[in-house]
């Protein structure tokens, strides 16, 4: 089998980066904004295109072809080539022959509060860019070659650039760091730098996707999307974290992380556990987990749905035995998160909790929220029941019999209220809390109570399965029925196919006994990713990738579904 590190990908879709690094090499310089050339883009304090990397020939900017692999990125032109590879998580090495390279500040204006400053360090002769946006320094050390610099110590508007000529072989190192560090020294030749990264990535793929076959052709690239979007602990992220992307979706949202944990659980259990636990590092006094976390901000204005009990149940089946102290800590965190919904999101006299906005559901603009924003919905009740069941199991494992009984009784009450209040006889309705106002629609969100699986009465799961089947396109379940007048091809949660809804539906259907439909959904989604990559979401009718094109939960869901498919196929062989 070809080494995963030799796979190629387009940097228009997926940034070139390395696990642990806070920067990547990419043309994506802002949301939905692509530059004509590649930039060193840092994600410390937000998305910041810091340096432009422009290959040059004798006439100036050179026309080149860019080729990216997990271990190295290269520019190839008529006169030669240049390459870049990660030596460490904060240092890249560049070299070239026949082509030169201009390393310049992405922004030309420096003010007292913005922009980039360039100076030459008298200590070691390196060229140092300081960047207001990230608050970091970017040191360019010349290891060999002929170099010229423009804009040294310039203020105001000026070009700030370090240019190495391609007249003879050259090599540079570029580092991202805080205040100061010792002068750079090259400990490894360039080829060994590349090989070390290749070995690291190959080991990662072998760990997280040892099951891969010719029939799971996207497994290597899915693993790269996860691996390259991982960052070291820094800022508010106190653990190694898999960002949703090293494009503009450079955060961890408080349900996305669960899907990444599931994909990593078998092969990288420690990293998987960090993904599950990291949002609970910022749990507030009321028990709520934040809406999102990134390097320099934690947001609490919304929350995300309580899928954590569902995820933890799956994780505990996959992970080695969790240490009792860690399990007890997790139980306490999950109980407080559940308590938030029971205490702060239930109106007086109500059994069912409510969302205050579509953002709370994770389905930000789903048509379920068109009538009202403050909504009781069956998906929320179902997730809460699953979480309560998991708390009961955890309490039993920890010898807390009275608490286990409490969680079980509460789960039964929420489940009964969901069926009594929201089930219409053929579908679930949404409801305005404290009123008799209900409504139905054509959003797949209204079918997400299928996540309860065999906890649903057969007649209910059968009706949900039939309705889900009508949402299926050639590529999977559309989030808004394609025949609906409110369907939008690129409407976020008003039509496109999304990875998390697909996995939750597939898993619930399978546990409810609708195995053939679950298999069909898995087959369609895996084929979609193998065709269109790992976009944030997909046009339900054409299969085209939409929005951010390197989204980790999409890669993770592909890996989870592919692993399960391979295992099922192996047990089906006579």
Q: Summarize pLDDT for 40-55 with one digit per residue, the tens.
A: 999 999 999 999 999 9
Rounded to whole angstroms, how far apart are CA atoms 262 and 301?
27
Predicted pLDDT at 1: 54
pLDDT for residue 207 is more than 60: yes
* Cβ-based burial of 355 (10 A; exposed 0-12, middle 13-18, buried ≥19): buried
CA atoms within 13 A on the CB side of 342: 16
Average pLDDT over residues 522-526: 98
| Rounded Cα gap, residues 462 and 458, in angstroms | 6
Q: Is the pLDDT of residue 28 over 70?
A: yes
Give the DSSP H/E element, type plus range, for residue 92.
strand 91-97
Cα–Cα distance measured from residue 508 to residue 504, given in angstroms and rounded to the nearest whole number: 6
DSSP state of 239: S
Q: Which of 204, 290, 148, 261 is nearest to 500 (CA)?
A: 261
What does the chain come to in residues?
574
C-alpha to C-alpha distance for 519 and 35, rounded to whole angstroms? 41
Beta bridge partner(s), residue 103: 53, 162
Measured CA to CA, the distance from residue 467 to residue 374 in angstroms comes to: 25
Strand-pairing partners, residue 175, are 91, 139
Average per-residue pLDDT in the chain? Answer: 96
Q: Is the pLDDT of residue 306 over 50?
A: yes
Is pLDDT at 573 greater than 80 in this prediction? no
Q: What integer is the mean pLDDT of 107-126?
A: 93
Residue 574 has pLDDT above 70, yes or no: no
Per-residue pLDDT, 44: 97
pLDDT of residue 571: 83
- Cα separation, 449 vs 46, in Å, equals 36
User: In this structure, what DSSP letter does residue 488 have?
Assistant: -
Contact 347, 434 (CB under 8 A): yes
Q: What is the mean pLDDT of residues 200-207?
A: 98
Domain boundaries, the chain: 4-198, 209-572
Is 4-198 in CATH node 2.70.98? yes
**Bridge partner residues of 241 (DSSP):** 231
| Structure-token pair, residue 451 | 């996540």
Q: What is the pLDDT of residues 269-296, one digit of tens each?
A: 999 999 999 999 999 999 999 999 999 9
- Contact between residue 306 and residue 337 where contact means Cβ atoms under 8 Å apart: yes
- The string of pLDDT tens digits covering residues 321-371 is 889 999 999 999 999 999 999 999 999 999 999 999 999 999 999 999 999
Pick the closest to residue 518 from 473, 476, 550 (CA basis): 476
Q: SS3 of 274, please?
A: helix
Contact (CB, 8 A) for 220 and 205: yes
Cβ pair 223, 4 in contact under 8 A: yes
The gap from C-alpha 394 to its chain's centroid, in whole angstroms, comes to 28
The phi, psi pair for 453, rounded to 5°, reads 60, -125
Mean pLDDT of 416-421: 98
CATH topology for 209-572?
Glycosyltransferase (1.50.10)
Distance, first Cα to last Cα, the chain:
25
Q: For the residues 222-239, what does the mean pLDDT come to?
A: 98
Yes or no: say if 50 and 39 are a contact pair by the CB < 8 Å rule. Answer: yes
Cβ-proximal residues to 139 (8 Å cutoff; 6+ apart), any chain:
121, 126, 127, 128, 129, 173, 174, 175, 177, 184
Q: Which letter, b or e, does each residue of 492-510 get, where b requires 16 or more Cβ atoms within 10 Å of its Cβ? A: bbbbbbbbbbbbbbbbbbb
72 vs 112: CA distance, rounded Å: 37
Distance CA 179, CA 128 (A): 11
Q: What is the mean pLDDT of residues 8-34?
A: 97
Contact 41, 24 (CB under 8 A): yes
Phi, psi of 393 (to 5 degrees): -65, -45
Contact by Cβ (8 Å): 242, 552: yes
CA within 13 Å, CB half, 46:
10
pLDDT at 450: 98
pLDDT of residue 2: 64
């Amino acid at each position: 089998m070809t080494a995963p590190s030799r796979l190629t990908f387009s940097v228009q879709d997926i940034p070139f980066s390395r696990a642990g690094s806070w920067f990547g090499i990419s043309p994506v310089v802002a949301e939905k904004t692509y530059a004509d050339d590649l930039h060193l883009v840092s994600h410390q304090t937000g998305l910041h295109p810091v340096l432009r990397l422009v290959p040059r020939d004798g006439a100036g900017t050179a026309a080149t072809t860019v080729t990216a692999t997990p271990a190295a990125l290269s520019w190839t032109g008529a006169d030669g080539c240049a390459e870049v590879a990660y030596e460490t998580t904060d240092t890249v090495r560049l070299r070239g022959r026949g082509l030169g390279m201009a390393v310049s500040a992405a922004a030309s204006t420096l003010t007292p509060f913005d922009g980039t400053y360039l100076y030459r360090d008298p200590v070691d002769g390196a060229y140092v860019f300081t960047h207001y946006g990230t608050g970091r320094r970017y040191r360019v050390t010349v290891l060999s070659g002929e170099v010229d610099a423009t804009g040294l110590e310039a203020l105001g508007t000026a070009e700030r650039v370090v240019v190495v000529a391609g007249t003879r072989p050259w090599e540079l190192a570029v580092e991202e760091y805080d205040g100061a560090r010792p002068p750079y020294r090259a400990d490894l030749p360039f080829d060994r730098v590349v090989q070390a990264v290749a070995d690291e990535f190959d080991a990662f793929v072998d760990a997280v996707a040892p099951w891969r076959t010719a029939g799971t052709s996207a497994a290597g690239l899915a693993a790269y999307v996860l691996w390259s979007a991982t960052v070291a602990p820094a800022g508010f992220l106190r653990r190694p974290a898999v960002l949703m992307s090293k494009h503009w979706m450079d955060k961890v949202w408080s349900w996305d992380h669960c899907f990444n944990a599931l994909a990593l659980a078998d092969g990288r259990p420690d990293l998987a556990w960090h993904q599950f636990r990291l949002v609970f590092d910022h749990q507030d006094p009321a028990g709520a987990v934040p809406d999102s976390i990134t390097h320099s901000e934690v947001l609490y204005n919304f929350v995300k749905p309580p899928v954590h009990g569902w995820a933890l149940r799956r994780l505990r089946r996959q992970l080695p035995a969790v240490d009792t102290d860690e399990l007890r800590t997790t139980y306490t965190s999950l109980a407080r998160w559940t308590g938030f919904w029971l205490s702060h999101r239930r109106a007086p006299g109500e059994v069912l909790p409510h969302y205050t906005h579509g953002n709370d559901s994770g389905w930000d603009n789903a048509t379920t929220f068109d009538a009202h924003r403050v909504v009781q919905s069956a998906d929320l009740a179902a997730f809460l029941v699953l979480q309560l069941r998991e708390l009961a199991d955890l309490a039993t494992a920890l010898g807390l019999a009275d608490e286990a009984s409490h969680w079980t009784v509460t789960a039964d009450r929420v489940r009964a209220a969901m069926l009594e209040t929201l089930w219409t006889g053929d579908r679930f309705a949404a409801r305005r809390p404290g009123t008799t106002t209900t409504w139905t629609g054509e959003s797949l969100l209204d079918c997400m109570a299928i996540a309860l699986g065999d906890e649903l009465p057969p007649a209910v799961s059968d009706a949900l399965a039939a309705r889900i089947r009508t949402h299926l396109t050639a590529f999977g379940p559309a989030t808004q029925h394609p025949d609906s007048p409110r369907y939008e091809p690129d409407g976020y949660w008003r039509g496109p196919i999304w990875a998390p809804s697909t996995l939750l539906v597939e898993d619930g259907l399978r546990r409810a006994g609708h195995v053939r439909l679950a298999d069909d959904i898995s087959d369609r989604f895996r084929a979609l990713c193998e065709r269109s990559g790992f976009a944030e979401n997909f046009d339900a009718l054409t299969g085209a990738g939409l929005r951010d094109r390197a989204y980790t939960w999409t890669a993770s869901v592909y890996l989870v579904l592919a692993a399960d498919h391979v295992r099922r196929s192996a047990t089906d062989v006579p």
